[in-house]
Amino acid sequence: MTRTFGNDFLWGTATSAYQIEGAHDRDGRQDSVWDAFCRRPGAVFEGHTGDRACDHYGRMSEDIGILSWLGVNAYRFSISWSRVLPDGTGAINEAGLDFYDRLVDGLIEAGIDPMVTLFHWDYPLSLYHRGGWLNRDSAQWFADYVRVIVDRLSDRVTRWSTINEPQCFIGLGHQEGKHAPGLKLAPEDHLRAAHHALLAHGRAVQTIRAHAKVPSVVGWAPIGHISYPATEDPADIEAARRATFEMRNKDHWNNTWYSDPVCHGHYPEDGLALWGDAAPRVESGDMEIISQPLDFYGVNIYAGEPVRASEEHGWEVVSFPPGAPRTAFDWPIAPKSLEWGVRLLWERYGLPVIVTENGMANLDWPDEQGRVSDPQRIDYSSRYLAGLQRAMDAGADVRGYFHWSLLDNFEWAEGFRMRFGLVHVDFETMVRTPKASAHWYRDFIAAQRSGPTAKVGVRGAVTPGARKAI
């Protein structure tokens, strides 16, 4: 199939600091909550830790070489807060900051646009001991850290993503206790932590706007928790819209608790009713901070579920057929989740969308000739990208796609057993081997290099009236 996403479409891969860097105690870095969580017996599969991870810290040039070979024009990586500010606030660790300086220079030299994620879960342990996200000061601490990064990198970095998947670091980390810092808090407490994370997001946007040296493109990267229509019947489409944006469960697996404040300046009514007295106290001015104008809506979409209209409840989930394809993580393979997720989010929030993560865990290993065949990942990516193209054909304004992930890496509580990379990593030797999917992605990107352009601009470049209903 010929697909044309446009010459300026961002084709990238994504990673995060704790998952790939390693070097947990080198050059002045101090612990984050993930270092501490990994040391807790039973917290992570087989006691794996990110101490070495992929040793990206020591092999950064090699990894930039791989990105260059892939032909991506963008790379999304996160910064380790406690590598730059070992105590979370105060003294800057120049060696840590220098690492990111060199990374940015190396990427630009290779013709790859850096997209910096400012927070991807590795909260400084020292600040956790001062209350972490439960402390309202965390928004100020985050803004101070962001200022350090912006002062150093914003002469070259123009693309910023504030926080990654608040649903996970709050839901899994502060409600369910499955991720760092491993807390199972009462609703009023994890909701307060969530509110502070939203404030931190808003303060980060303000800091970038106020101090960046060149015009910046700013967004964030929540999870897309997607229901898609089982058929194209308008009643099923309405069912998907409702299912995607309604809050029915007392957990963090939804879109609107986070995205409505960020994009609309208020918590959703159904969420407030659901949480009742546990809902956070919103101080005067909070929502103005949280709802800073954004340039793009970054979204991480991996899977979703089909729904259809139901007279009784408005919508109901349609089961996958027995034996339907699933990833190694047991997530259903559902290309329509990307297609409809992007369409529905574009419709509701009216911001250009960037797919900041999409990919799959697979059981990959090198064969006797040293090749890594992963036809499942090629098929997955091909189907999801076709879905993305359909979303764009339907009018959704999509500006980029970042495959998760560049390298096999430390998959949080699953340790190293879930391999998400386009590039296989031998975690003993650290040898990198591009998988068949890496070759496929490289060819795919090369084939997209012609056709009409869709400008990836700064705020204001998108005509508000361009927003279309689906």
Residues at the site binding ligand IFM, with contacts judged by CB under 6 A: 16, 19, 165, 300, 357, 404, 411, 420
362 secondary structure, DSSP code: B
Shorter beta-carbon distance to ligand IFM: residue 19 or 207: 19
Least Cβ distance, residue 302 to ligand IFM (angstroms): 7
- Residue tagged active-site, from 305, 339, 357, 411: 357
Shorter beta-carbon distance to ligand IFM: residue 88 or 298: 298
204 secondary structure, DSSP code: H
Least Cβ distance, residue 19 to ligand IFM (angstroms): 6
Rounded CA separation 309/231 (Å)? 10
Least Cβ distance, residue 465 to ligand IFM (angstroms): 33
Least Cβ distance, residue 338 to ligand IFM (angstroms): 14
- Please name the residues in contact with 14: beta carbons below 8 A apart, sequence gap of 6 or more: 75, 76, 77, 117, 356, 357, 402, 403, 404, 405, 406
The CA-CA-CA angle for residues 353, 356, 357, to 5°, reads 130
Coil, helix or strand for 156? coil
> For 245, phi and psi rounded to 5 degrees?
-115, 5
- Please name the residues in contact with 109: beta carbons below 8 A apart, sequence gap of 6 or more: none
Question: Is 62 assigned a catalytic role?
Answer: no
Least Cβ distance, residue 121 to ligand IFM (angstroms): 7
Rounded CA separation 15/357 (Å)? 9
Shorter beta-carbon distance to ligand IFM: residue 171 or 229: 171
Shorter beta-carbon distance to ligand IFM: residue 300 or 376: 300
The CA-CA-CA angle for residues 88, 59, 408, to 5°, reads 85
Question: Which tokens is 389 given?
Answer: 């193209």
Rounded CA separation 455/314 (Å)? 39
Least Cβ distance, residue 181 to ligand IFM (angstroms): 16
CB of 182 within 8 A of CB of 191?
no
Token pair 């493109």: residue: 217
Rounded CA separation 79/74 (Å)? 16
- Residue tagged active-site, from 165, 246, 339, 411: 165
Question: Is 357 assigned a catalytic role?
Answer: yes
Concatenating the DSSP letter of every residue in 160-187 gives EEEEE-HHHHHIIIIIS-SSTT-----H
Shorter beta-carbon distance to ligand IFM: residue 18 or 100: 18
Shorter beta-carbon distance to ligand IFM: residue 207 or 300: 300
Token pair 């909260």: residue: 123
Nearest of 44, 199, 179, 183 to residue 122 by alpha carbon:
179
Catalytic residue list? 165, 357
